[in-house]
Amino acid sequence: MMKWLISIFSTSYVAAATYNAATVAYSDVSNAVALSTVGDTVVVPAGTVTWTNTLTLTNGITLRGAGAGQTTIYGTGNNLIYFNLSADNPARVTGFSFTNIWDSSYACAVYVLGDYHNGSSGPSTAVRIDHCNFLGGGRTVYFVGQKAYGLVDHCNFTNGMNTVAVQAFDNLSWDEPFGLGTTNAVVVENCVFYQTGLSLGTQVYNEEGARFVVRSNTFIKLGTGDYQFVECHGNQNYYTGTGADYRGCLFGEVYGNTFVGENYRRITYWRSGTILSYNNAFNITNVYEGATLSCIQITDEETHRSSLQPNHCDWPFQDAVTNSYFWGNTLRGTSMTTIDDETGGYCTNGVFVVNTDYWLSDPRTTTTTNRSGAVNVLSGYTPLAYPHPRVTAEDAVVTAATVIGLLSVGTIQSP
């Protein structure tokens, strides 16, 4: 079956065409995109321009600029590039600089929609955004839907609000197979995030059934403010009895990252789901005297959110942090042997129990029994091959058939 897939995709890719936009102007790029079809490449030359319209991509194509710093597109608070694919084919944006003017409407440089159960689009499970620079943006790169997966790599982000945001599809996303260690997630790797002065926001923000991997990135924060580097939202807006089925994150893998600079309070903030956070270096200084710096903090919405009634301090909690592991992390070079249970401020003894709900060790080398009595539930955990299969396939000298062969699997794991 795999060989059959490769053969068909190889045939279509042999005929792939390249279209050159006359200039970086929206009209010229839009005209070139209109000529393209699945597997084609649209090349955008160097230049600087402001787009007041959104470029919608409905086919799986590569949109290639002359390079970050060479092809620069300014926004005016509008979305710039919008993926609404008619079929789930590999797609890519590479080699651009995007300068968005941030506003409260969550302006996006790149918006990826994969909400096929909602009827608004088909799946978009193979979108790559790479080797780009981003300045500003409300949700600068935004994946939306229970089938909106992809890769963000080798990008530089400066002063976005919720810079890379993943918003899945609540109950439908929780019904999907789990997917740890696979390409069925939004993967952010080998990027640099730089923030100065924002009082509230998150560099990688996840909610409503999101699945995400954040690895081998550098996060830099200077200035005051309650700003999370990576966050997993919970079910805060789940109003009992109203049918507003707002769900927490499904899982997050955060490893091999470096966090640098100064911050007010929280660095990574986990409010739901299964979290594996390991081998991260937190080189952070607290800039507010008297405040407690929490590099890894867990909580549960139902213990204190006014939107969730009645508040309570006893199990069960919907979408609570569970089957989670934190190991190999350091704070300014010293091994971290504890994490912060924020619920302790609302419930006398907290609600999470170490070695029951979370562990401070590697699941592959630890005997564990969780709250439900299940034993060693993540003992077979294997992280996704590094670098991501898209990087291996597309940034090396290989055939297009190899690229499609890798992607068609959809659940590639390292050996």
The whole-number pLDDT of residue 305 equals: 82
Q: SS3 for 167?
A: strand
| 3-state SS string for the chain | CHHHHHHHHHHHHHCCCEEECCCCCHHHHHHHHHHCCCCCEEECCCEEEECCCCEEECCCCEEECCCCCCEEEECCCCCCEEECCCCCCCEEEECCEEECCCCCCCCCCEEEECCHHHCCCCCEEEEEEECCEEECCCCCEEEECCCEEEEEECCEEECCCEEEEEECCHHHHHHCCCCCCCCCCEEEECCEEEEECCCEEEEEEEECCCEEEEECCEEEEECCCEEEEEEECCCCCCCCCCCCCCCCCCEEEEECCEEEEEECCEEEEECCCEEEEECCEEEEEECCCCCCCEEEEECCHHHCCCCCCCCCCCCCCCCCCCCEEEECCEECCEECCCCEEHHHHCCCCCCCCECCCEECCCCCCCCCECCCCCECCCCCCCCCCCCCHHHHHHCCCCCHHHHHHHHHHCCCCCC
* Chain centroid offset of residue 158 CA: 16
| Domains of the chain by residue range | 2-409
The whole-number pLDDT of residue 11 equals: 38
Q: What is the pLDDT tens value at each position of the chain, 415 positions in all?
A: 332 233 333 334 446 999 999 999 999 999 999 999 999 999 999 999 999 999 999 999 999 999 999 999 999 888 999 999 999 999 999 999 999 766 666 789 999 999 877 777 889 999 999 999 999 888 999 999 999 999 999 999 998 889 999 999 998 899 999 999 999 999 999 999 998 876 668 999 999 999 999 999 999 988 766 678 999 999 986 655 555 688 999 999 999 999 998 876 789 999 999 999 999 999 988 766 566 788 999 999 999 887 777 789 999 999 999 999 999 999 999 999 999 999 988 898 889 999 999 999 999 999 999 999 999 999 999 999 999 999 999 997 544 444 444 443 333 333 2
The whole-number pLDDT of residue 4 equals: 29
Contact criterion met (CB below 8 Å) for 234 and 272 = yes
Q: Is the peptide bond before 310 cis (omega within 30 degrees of 0)?
A: yes
- The CA-based angle 325-188-413, given to 5 degrees, is 65
The whole-number pLDDT of residue 397 equals: 52
Q: In whole angstroms, what is the distance from residue 186 CA to residue 318 CA?
A: 23
- The CA-based angle 251-254-257, given to 5 degrees, is 165
- State the pTM of this model: 0.91
The whole-number pLDDT of residue 290 equals: 60
The whole-number pLDDT of residue 158 equals: 93
Q: Is 223 exposed, middle or buried (0-12, 13-18, 19+ CB in 10 A)?
A: middle
Q: Token match 């299940």: residue?
A: 374
The whole-number pLDDT of residue 288 equals: 66
Contact criterion met (CB below 8 Å) for 124 and 113 = yes
